Amino acid sequence: MEQYTYGKTLLKIDDVSLEYDGRPILKHVSAEIRDIVRPGCTQGQVVGFLGPSGIGKTQLFRIIAGLNKPTSGRVTVNGLDRPVEAGEVGVVAQDYPLFEHRTVMSNLLLAARQKERDAKVARDKVIQHLTDFELIDKARLYPAQLSGGQRQRCAIIQQILCSEHFLLMDEPFSGLDLLMLEKTCELIQKVANMDELNTIIVVTHDVTAAASVADHVWLMGRDHDSKGTPLPGSHIVETYDLIERDLCWHPEIISQPRFMEFVREVKNRFRGL
């Protein structure tokens, strides 16, 4: 197992509950993401966020992004003593929304200027990201002229420019063939490891893809009564540390029997929710 230590808390979900018309949707949800420090390399954080449909992932997603407020509790980032605000956590939606009437460069400059007042600095940042993501030759194209993978990369750059270190990705593996699935996993790891503080939460139904790209996995579900009936209000019922299980940072880990055993474990737990 590789050497690592945990640093400061980067994102904390602190006893979050949500009710609609007196009906519990989320109930005492707590979790945190800490900086993972590995000697000699830049190591970002990736959390796979799993749960059945209708369990409340979208509601928690929007609370983490600062788009909705919980009934009680809060989400904080970077150790700040206040709830997260909209824009501090970037959101890469499933359809990769971009302004269709603007070029790639124009879309990204618009995002960069939200954080950077100096126009030249903003443009330099955009050019650097386009270069890093192998899109510099697409700068003058419009979103409709991009492939799905290129559009995904543009949407990620857009959110990095706006929110810096935190990204929420909504179902990034949905509808992908095996080749694009592999490329998307590589892209997520690349984005995470561009900066020590970069932190990505991947919301997905794909257990295998989540486990192959993440260092931790959160599984959302409900508690059950003695008769097996689900109780109102969802929370994170399991947190899996893939680093402790020695399932991180190994080439070709998905072909290893211990990885497949872990995937089966999570799927079995998933079915019980």
Domain boundaries, the chain: 5-271
Q: What is the dihedral of CA 201, 236, 249, 65, to 10 degrees?
A: 10
Residues forming a β-bridge with 50: 219
User: What is the per-residue pLDDT for 272?
Assistant: 77
Picking from 160, 36, 87, the residue whose alpha carbon sits closest to that of residue 77 is: 87
pLDDT of residue 53: 86
Find the helix or strand (DSSP H, E) in which 170 lies: strand 166-170
Q: How far apart are CA 47 and CA 211, in angstroms?
A: 9
Strands 45-50 and 216-224, bridge-based pairing:
parallel
H or E element that contains 197? none
Q: What six digits make up the tokens of 108? A: 């990204």
- CA–CA separation, 67 and 27 (whole Å): 18
**pLDDT one-digit tens code per residue, 107-138:** 999 999 988 889 999 999 999 999 988 999 99
Whether the Cβ atoms of residue 89 and residue 168 lie closer than 8 Å to each other: yes
What are the residue ranges in the chain where pLDDT is below 70? 1
Query: What is the model's pLDDT at position 15?
Result: 97
List, in sequence order, every residue forming a beta bridge with 76; answer none if it has no partner: 12
Angle between the N-to-C axes of helices 178-192 and 148-163, in degrees from 0 to 180, rounded to the nearest 10:
20
Which residues are CB-neighbours of 228 under 8 A, at least 6 positions away?
none
Rg (CA), the chain: 19
Q: How many helices (H) and strands (E) does the chain have?
A: 7, 9
Pairing of strands 45-50, 199-203: parallel
pLDDT at residue 176, as a whole number: 77
Q: 5-271 maps to which CATH number?
A: 3.40.50.300
Distance CA(233)–CA(15), nearest Å, equals 13
Q: How big is the chain, counted in residues?
A: 273
For residue 182, which of 253, 125, 114 has the smallest C-alpha distance? 253
